[in-house]
Structure formats: structure tokens, C-alpha cells
Amino acid sequence: MQRRERSPSEGYFWPIVLAFGLHLLVFAMLFVSFSMAPELPPARPIVQATLYQMKSQSRATTQTNQKIAGEAQKTAARQYEVEQMEQKKLEQQQLVMAKAAEQKKSEEARKAEAAKQAAVEESKKKAAEEAKKQAAAEEVKQKAAEESKKQAAAEEAKKKSAEEAKKQAAAEEAKKK
């Protein structure tokens, strides 16, 4: 006996056909079971209750309503107090912030004033140094002028003495002659 090898497609054909058929059968049975199901009567409530509203209210209900109103007023008063406290806190914070801003501005103004003063003092120092330099330069010029005058006077004196010496020499020569 020889066994012939099956190809993969032949090996899966009949099992797939069988699975498909079973699925179809289950699906058909589902519809058949629903169509043959007996009809159930409509559901009835187990407990029946009727609500009545009474026209007259008891004193307890009235008192309860009054208590609720009183508590609402108390709650409203508390909320108002809380809101007032929050508003006061906000105002205080704004006041603190305004004071801080004012203090910062005044400090900046002080710093600016100090900077101006420092600049003025610096300019005064520079002016004083410049004046000292000019005075020293004037003094040097005066000394140089005095020196030149002295030198000119000395040269003039030398010239005069040389002329006098020449005159004396000429006079002596004239006397000798």
C-alpha cells in the first residue's frame, strides 16, 4: 500500500468545511430557539404604594422649615464675615505692597541723589586738580619768566661791563697815546 502525500490545501479543506457547517447550524438553532420561546406575561410590581400630600403641615415641619431658614441666615452671616475678612486681608496686602513700592521708590531716589552728589564731588575734585595743575603751570611759567629776566639782566650786565671794559681800555689807550 502506498500512501499518497497530501498537499497542505487538501489537508485543510474538509476540516474547514466541517467547522463552517457547525457554525451555520449553531447560528440557525439560535434563531429557532428565540422564535419558539414562550411569551411571558408583563411584569407586575411586587409592592404597590401610593403617595399622598397632606394639606396641613404639622408643627414639627414648620419648625424644621424655620430652623432651616435660621441656619441659612447664620450661614449667610458667616459667609459675609468671611468675605469681609478676605476683603480686609486683600486691602492689607495692597497697603503693604503700596508701602513697599513707595519705600523702593524713595530708596531709588536716595540712591540717585547719592549718585548725583558723588558725581558733583568728583567734578569738584577734578576741577581742584585742574586748578592745581594750572597754578603749577603758571608758577613754572613765572619762574621761567623770572629766570629769563635774570638771564637777560645778567647778559645786559655782561654787555655793559664789556662795554665799560672796552671804554676803559679805549680810555687807557687814549691816555697812553
Whether the per-residue pLDDT at 63 is higher than 90: the answer is no
- Give the model confidence (pLDDT) of 135-172 as tens digits: 999 999 999 999 998 998 889 888 888 888 888 888 88
Report the candidate in 129, 132, 124, 103 with the shortest Cα–Cα distance to residue 116: 124
Residue 18: strand, helix, or coil? helix
Q: Give the type of residue at 177.
A: K
Task: Round to whole Å and give the CA distance between 29 and 6.
Answer: 35
- pLDDT value of residue 129: 95
* Lookup result for grid cell 414562550: 38
> What would you measure as the largest C-alpha separation in the chain, in angstroms?
190
d(CA 63, CA 69): 10
pTM above 0.85, yes or no: no
Give the position of cell 568728583. Answer: 122
Assign 48 to helix, strand or coil: coil
User: How far apart (Å, rounded) are the C-alpha atoms in residues 110 and 142?
Assistant: 47
Residue at 113: amino acid letter: E
| Per-domain residue ranges of the chain | 66-148
